[in-house]
Amino acid sequence: MRTQLVSKSTGVLADGREIIYFDESPGLRRAEVQDTRDLPASAQGGPVVVTAEAGLRWDPLLGEWVVLAAQRQNRTFLPPTDLCPLCPSRPGRPTEIPAADYDVVVFENRFPSLRGAGVAGAEPAGAAAADVTAGWQLGAQRPAFGRCEVVCFTSDHDASFASLTPRRARTVVQAWADRSATLGAMPGIAQVYCFENRGEEIGVTLHHPHGQVYAFPFVTPRTARMLAQARAYQLGGRRNLFDDLVASELAAGTRVVARNEHWTAFVPAAARWPFEVMIFPAVRVASIPALGDPARTAFCDLYLDVLRRLDGMFGIRMPYIAAWHQAPVGDAFAQAEFGLHLQVMAVRRAPGKLKYQAGTESGMGVWIGDVTPEDAALRLREAG
Amino acid sequence: MRTQLVSKSTGVLADGREIIYFDESPGLRRAEVQDTRDLPASAQGGPVVVTAEAGLRWDPLLGEWVVLAAQRQNRTFLPPTDLCPLCPSRPGRPTEIPAADYDVVVFENRFPSLRGAGVAGAEPAGAAAADVTAGWQLGAQRPAFGRCEVVCFTSDHDASFASLTPRRARTVVQAWADRSATLGAMPGIAQVYCFENRGEEIGVTLHHPHGQVYAFPFVTPRTARMLAQARAYQLGGRRNLFDDLVASELAAGTRVVARNEHWTAFVPAAARWPFEVMIFPAVRVASIPALGDPARTAFCDLYLDVLRRLDGMFGIRMPYIAAWHQAPVGDAFAQAEFGLHLQVMAVRRAPGKLKYQAGTESGMGVWIGDVTPEDAALRLREAG
């Protein structure tokens, strides 16, 4: 890890939330920058408890926790540009970021779905990950313990991840690695999830280029399923599911979108989204922090290339969800066998047509694909 | 079952697809009505095979089949009202329904995601349900065998399910029961799914009031998960998960929306959608055909009441997915222990605000709820 790449400094916002600057130039004296706002103290302190509006609720029919975060219903919703809370502060117009400029900045979400991780005394009794997943009792509830952070990719309100320089993308990777390691080490955290929602079409409420980090107190349903599949695959006498999947995609070739020495981007054979791209490293690791520096740098080249192909597909910004799949932190099998990858789910299937999760998807969990994965890959290759 | 309620008659469309009329008055001589269109023969005949555009594809990471149906990409999309294919035919303007009027009509989808079930010679080798779910091979594909039908609830283009008379709703239930029994008995079918997508907000392409029926060649992921939960619940020394869930909701009372002698409608404690309503019968059955006549009639009263409450919530038509959860047909445990229920997923959380499945939902399978289930139930009770 070339730590000299990025200078990290930590501050505190007016309501007690943490803010972390990832600067490409050292010596910016971030500690001297004060948040001048008169904010009510955040609810970050004190033990996290179940309330009528916030908690984890057990769904006994599917065996999954659902996060109730009704206190977020009134969160900031598509504010006009001059009120963007993710832009740097200007004199007389303070935002969430007290500094007058920044490269990449991370701060605790003002409207968190999960909170308390890393806060002394906030961890609820019995919040250990293993305990939280054992919820057979009908109507079981747990505190919504965890942490939600916002990652601003650039101070330029009108930019996008796709328009970042490779250097800036590399700083974002550094921030993801830092947050994954830091939040993953907090007591009671089972899994760290870095992601980006992009586009009003999927409900994005702030246009400023940003992503999010969620630290969950349980292993998420999709990750649990992947781990169960990987276990069953090995028990069936096979090797590693992730390794074999990438090898089979490289052998087939028809769904590969782009690749370099360290990464392969392909449309999965069973894609659920019109343009879905999986990006796997050539050498399997379990998490972003485990990526070496050359792999981190090479990722930026490939990911920027993929995002620009997606934007170029219809000549309009492609709405997407970009999801980093990492191993749960406390699971030895997962740490040894899970394959880190980024999944980009682009939801536009044609100009003016979006993919919806309607009756078969939402009711049965059965996805109906409208675009062949091979055609999607071909079109993405040609969009380069 | 009061079969005298509905007169069923079957015909064939110009391209060979089946059409079934469910008439509230007998003697309408449906067999004499001809489809006068000059349609190319449908692809219903011959064995169903995997093609580049159509097939079931195995997702090894989640252990699920994904349906590829790329041939549907050019299906009818929000046609103007005077071209509605679900309205009755008029002289010089033939539609999918040759008759000049109808009560409830079902026909095979012209753009089916799954096809071939019930067609002699169409069933592919090895399409038995058990076989289809055993797909460990990376890149495994199967023919997209099954059946997709459209259910028109009324000939009135501007109506909605909520505006149907109880009598008409009862005829729809009769059609659902008939299709569930008929398609469920076809070789190679594992599960029958009746549902309605309502509202452009969730991607509905035809506004005429209608639902759909899918006959799947595999047990769907969500149903498989519910059955696994029900099994684990029993193995843990408890009784029936569905019975206990309904009993616990009745005991709690805070999430009950409406009930009558035969049915209870409640917002689940771990609701995923802003306004999600589960409707369970008082006496558990595994499928719609197993419902007695009093329960079918009482369902209509309660369901119409619930739908009108949903529409009344914000004074504008509520977009929703209504999903009938039935037991797989060939599973003895499911037939004995599954609890039939209707799940209504309404996606509007406030006027002008929809619930999106973004990063946490689509990436991790973790739902973040914005409305407390107790508040949703209270508001639905008050909307009556």
Q: Do A363 and B325 touch (CB under 8 A)?
A: yes
Amino acid identity, position B71: Q
Euclidean distance between CA atoms A226 and A289, whole angstroms: 20
A251 contacts A187 by C-beta, under 8 angstroms: no
Is A287 a residue whose pLDDT tops 80? yes
Q: Do B353 and A225 touch (CB under 8 A)?
A: no
The number of CA neighbours under 13 Å toward the Cβ of B145 is: 32
Q: Establish if B358 belongs to a structural domain.
A: yes
Q: Are residues A256 and A344 in the same domain?
A: yes
Query: How many domains is chain B partitioned into structurally?
Result: 2
Q: Do A359 and B72 touch (CB under 8 A)?
A: no
Q: Do B349 and A73 touch (CB under 8 A)?
A: yes
Q: Any idea what DSSP says for residue B138?
A: T
Q: In the numeric block, which tokens belong to residue B243? A: 């019975």
Q: Establish if B48 belongs to a structural domain.
A: no
Q: Is B132 helix (H, G, I), strand (E, B) or coil?
A: helix
Q: Do A365 and B225 touch (CB under 8 A)?
A: yes
Interface-testing mutation among B364, B367, B379, with chain A (most A C-beta atoms within 10 A): B364
- The pLDDT, as a whole number, for residue B131 is 44
Any chain B CB within 8 A of the CB of A47? no
Averaged pLDDT, B245-267:
97
Of B189, B219, B249, the one marking the end of a domain is B219
Query: Which residues of B are identified as catalytic?
Result: 210
- The pLDDT, as a whole number, for residue B192 is 98
Of A219, A238, A258, the one marking the end of a domain is A219
Is A130 a residue whose pLDDT tops 70? no
Q: Establish if A46 belongs to a structural domain.
A: no
Euclidean distance between CA atoms A80 and A194, whole angstroms: 26
Euclidean distance between CA atoms A111 and B330, whole angstroms: 47
Collect all residues with Cβ–Cβ distance below 8 Å to A319 and sequence separation of at least 6.
A198, A199, A200, A201, A202, A346, A347, A348, A354
Q: Is B6 helix (H, G, I), strand (E, B) or coil?
A: coil
Any chain B CB within 8 A of the CB of A51? no
Is B24 a residue whose pLDDT tops 80? yes
Question: Of A62, A193, A371, which has the smallest distance from its Cβ to B226's Cβ?
Answer: A62
d(CA A220, nearest CA chain B) in Å: 6
Please, which residues 233-272 of chain A have a Cβ atom closer than 8 Å to chain B? 233, 236, 241, 244-245, 248, 252, 268-272
Q: Do B139 and A357 touch (CB under 8 A)?
A: no
Euclidean distance between CA atoms A61 and B123, whole angstroms: 33
Let me know if A308 is exposed, middle or buried by CB neighbors in 10 A (0-12, 13-18, 19+).
Answer: middle
- The pLDDT, as a whole number, for residue B147 is 97
Amino acid identity, position B125: A
- The pLDDT, as a whole number, for residue A80 is 58
Q: Are residues B163 and B231 in the same domain?
A: no
Bigger pLDDT: A311 vs A128: A311
Measured in whole angstroms, how far is the alpha carbon of residue A33 from the centre of its chain? 28
Collect all residues with Cβ–Cβ distance below 8 Å to B78 and sequence separation of at least 6.
B200, B205, B206, B207
Question: Of B61, B241, B321, which has the smallest distance from its Cβ to A359's Cβ?
Answer: B321
- The pLDDT, as a whole number, for residue A134 is 44
Q: Are residues B290 and B341 in the same domain?
A: yes
Any chain B CB within 8 A of the CB of A374? yes
A193 contacts B360 by C-beta, under 8 angstroms: yes
Q: Are residues B161 and B19 in the same domain?
A: yes
Euclidean distance between CA atoms A297 and A308, whole angstroms: 17
d(CA B123, nearest CA chain A) in Å: 20
**Among chain A residues, CA nearest to B268:** A59
Any chain B CB within 8 A of the CB of A197? yes
Of A219, A236, A253, the one marking the end of a domain is A219
> Taking CB atoms and an 8 Å cut-off, how many pairs form between chains A and B?
251
Euclidean distance between CA atoms A234 and A229, whole angstroms: 9
d(CA B98, nearest CA chain A) in Å: 27
Mean pLDDT of chain A: 91
Q: Are residues A112 and A201 in the same domain?
A: yes
Helix H, strand E, coil C: the string for chain A is: CCHHHCEEEEEECCCCCEEEEEECCCCCCHHHCCCCCCCCCCCCCCCCCCCCCEEEEEECCCCEEEEEEHHHCCCCCCCCHHHCCCCECECCECCCECCCCCCEEEEECCCCCCEECCCCCCCCCCCCHHHHCCCCCCCCEECCEEEEEEEECCCCCCCCHHHCCHHHHHHHHHHHHHHHHHHHCCCCCCEEEEEEEECHHHCCCCCCCEEEEEEECCCCHHHHHHHHHHHHHHHCCCCCHHHHHHHHHHHHCCCEEEECCCEEEECCCCCCCCEEEEEEECCCCCCHHHCCHHHHHHHHHHHHHHHHHHHHHHCCCCCEEEEEECCCCCCHHHHHHCCCEEEEEECEEECCEECCCCHHHHHHCCCEECCCHHHHHHHHHHCC
Euclidean distance between CA atoms B61 and B56, whole angstroms: 15
Q: Any idea what DSSP says for residue B380?
A: H
Query: Mind listing the pLDDT tens digit for each residue in A154-205?
Result: 999 999 999 999 999 999 999 999 999 999 999 999 999 999 999 988 888 8
Question: Which residue range is the domain that position A318 belongs to?
Answer: 223-382
Query: Mind listing the pLDDT tens digit for each residue in A257-281?
Result: 999 999 999 999 999 999 999 999 9
Any chain B CB within 8 A of the CB of A228? yes
**Among chain B residues, CA nearest to A191:** B364
Q: Establish if A329 belongs to a structural domain.
A: yes
Residue B82: phi and psi, rounded to 5, are -75, 0
Any chain B CB within 8 A of the CB of A87? no
Handedness of CA A114, A118, A120, A123 (dihedral sign): positive
Question: Of A53, A321, A356, which has the smallest distance from its Cβ to B202's Cβ?
Answer: A356
Q: Establish if B66 belongs to a structural domain.
A: no
d(CA A29, nearest CA chain B) in Å: 34
Euclidean distance between CA atoms A333 and A320, whole angstroms: 31
A334 contacts A286 by C-beta, under 8 angstroms: yes
- Tell me whether strands B191-198 and A54-59 are parallel, antiparallel or unpaired: unpaired
Kindly report which listed range (A22-31, A326-335, B218-227, B321-330) carries the lowest average pLDDT score: A22-31
Is B139 a residue whose pLDDT tops 90? no
Euclidean distance between CA atoms A342 and B76, whole angstroms: 34
CB contacts, 8 Å: A129 with chain B: none
Euclidean distance between CA atoms A21 and A89, whole angstroms: 14
Euclidean distance between CA atoms B172 and B248, whole angstroms: 30
Any chain B CB within 8 A of the CB of A219? no
Euclidean distance between CA atoms B354 and B348, whole angstroms: 4
Any chain A CB within 8 A of the CB of B351? no
Any chain A CB within 8 A of the CB of B223? yes
Q: Are residues A186 and A309 in the same domain?
A: no
Q: Do A59 and B270 touch (CB under 8 A)?
A: yes
Rounded to a whole number, what is the distance in angstroms from the first to the last CA of chain B? 30
At A126, is the pLDDT very low, low, confident or very high (cuts 50, 70, 90)? low
Q: Establish if A23 belongs to a structural domain.
A: yes
Any chain B CB within 8 A of the CB of A379? no
- Tell me whether strands B115-116 and B145-152 are parallel, antiparallel or unpaired: parallel
Any chain B CB within 8 A of the CB of A111? no
Bigger pLDDT: A384 vs A303: A303
Please, which residues 288-347 of chain B have a Cβ atom closer than 8 Å to chain A? 321, 323, 325, 343, 345
d(CA A27, nearest CA chain B) in Å: 35
Q: Are residues A8 and A81 in the same domain?
A: yes
Work out the number of other CB atoms within 10 angstroms of the CB of residue B336: 11
Is A3 a residue whose pLDDT tops 70? no
Question: Of A53, A364, A372, which has the smallest distance from its Cβ to B52's Cβ?
Answer: A372
A17 contacts A42 by C-beta, under 8 angstroms: yes
Amino acid identity, position A156: D
- The pLDDT, as a whole number, for residue A135 is 47
Q: Are residues B365 and B267 in the same domain?
A: yes
Averaged pLDDT, A22-45:
83
Q: Are residues A245 and A292 in the same domain?
A: yes
Query: Mind listing the pLDDT tens digit for each residue in B277-320?
Result: 999 999 999 999 999 999 999 999 999 999 999 999 998 899 99
**Among chain A residues, CA nearest to B235:** A136
**Among chain A residues, CA nearest to B66:** A367
Is B11 a residue whose pLDDT tops 60? yes
- The pLDDT, as a whole number, for residue B45 is 64
B226 contacts A61 by C-beta, under 8 angstroms: yes
Averaged pLDDT, B352-381:
93
DSSP states of B279-335 as a string? EEESS--SSGGG--HHHHHHHHHHHHHHHHHHHHHHSSPPPEEEEEE---TT-HHHH
- The pLDDT, as a whole number, for residue A361 is 96
Is B95 a residue whose pLDDT tops 60? yes
Q: Establish if A352 belongs to a structural domain.
A: yes
Mean pLDDT of chain B: 91
Is A244 a residue whose pLDDT tops 90? yes
Residue A178: phi and psi, rounded to 5, are -60, -45
Q: Do A245 and B65 touch (CB under 8 A)?
A: no
Q: In the numeric block, which tokens belong to residue A298? A: 């090479």
**Listed residue (B107, B105, B85) closest to B21, CA to CA:** B105
Averaged pLDDT, A54-75:
88
Q: Which of A157, A207, A208, A210 is catalytic?
A: A210
Q: Are residues B83 and B213 in the same domain?
A: yes
The number of CA neighbours under 13 Å toward the Cβ of A195 is: 24
CB contacts, 8 Å: B369 with chain A: 57, 66-70
Euclidean distance between CA atoms B339 and A319, whole angstroms: 38
Q: Are residues A9 and A24 in the same domain?
A: yes
CB contacts, 8 Å: B355 with chain A: 203
Q: Are residues A70 and A200 in the same domain?
A: yes
**Listed residue (B374, B121, B122) closest to B254, CA to CA:** B374
Query: Mind listing the pLDDT tens digit for each residue in A71-87?
Result: 865 555 455 556 899 99
Kindly report which listed range (A70-79, B79-88, B252-261) carries the lowest average pLDDT score: A70-79
Averaged pLDDT, B233-253:
94
Q: Establish if B61 belongs to a structural domain.
A: no
At B80, is the pLDDT very low, low, confident or very high (cuts 50, 70, 90)? low
**Listed residue (B61, B319, B121, B209) closest to A249, CA to CA:** B61
- The pLDDT, as a whole number, for residue A79 is 58
Is B81 a residue whose pLDDT tops 60? no
Any chain A CB within 8 A of the CB of B113? yes
CB contacts, 8 Å: B61 with chain A: 225-226, 229, 241, 245, 268
Let me know if A141 is exposed, middle or buried by CB neighbors in 10 A (0-12, 13-18, 19+).
Answer: middle
CB contacts, 8 Å: A349 with chain B: 73
Q: Any idea what DSSP says for residue B50?
A: -
A25 contacts A7 by C-beta, under 8 angstroms: yes
What ipTM, to 2 d.p.? 0.94
Euclidean distance between CA atoms B306 and B4, whole angstroms: 27
**Among chain B residues, CA nearest to A195:** B359
Bigger pLDDT: A249 vs B202: A249
Q: Do A52 and B374 touch (CB under 8 A)?
A: yes
Q: Do A196 and B359 touch (CB under 8 A)?
A: yes
- Tell me whether strands A104-108 and A145-152 are parallel, antiparallel or unpaired: antiparallel
* CATH number, residue B129: 3.30.428.10
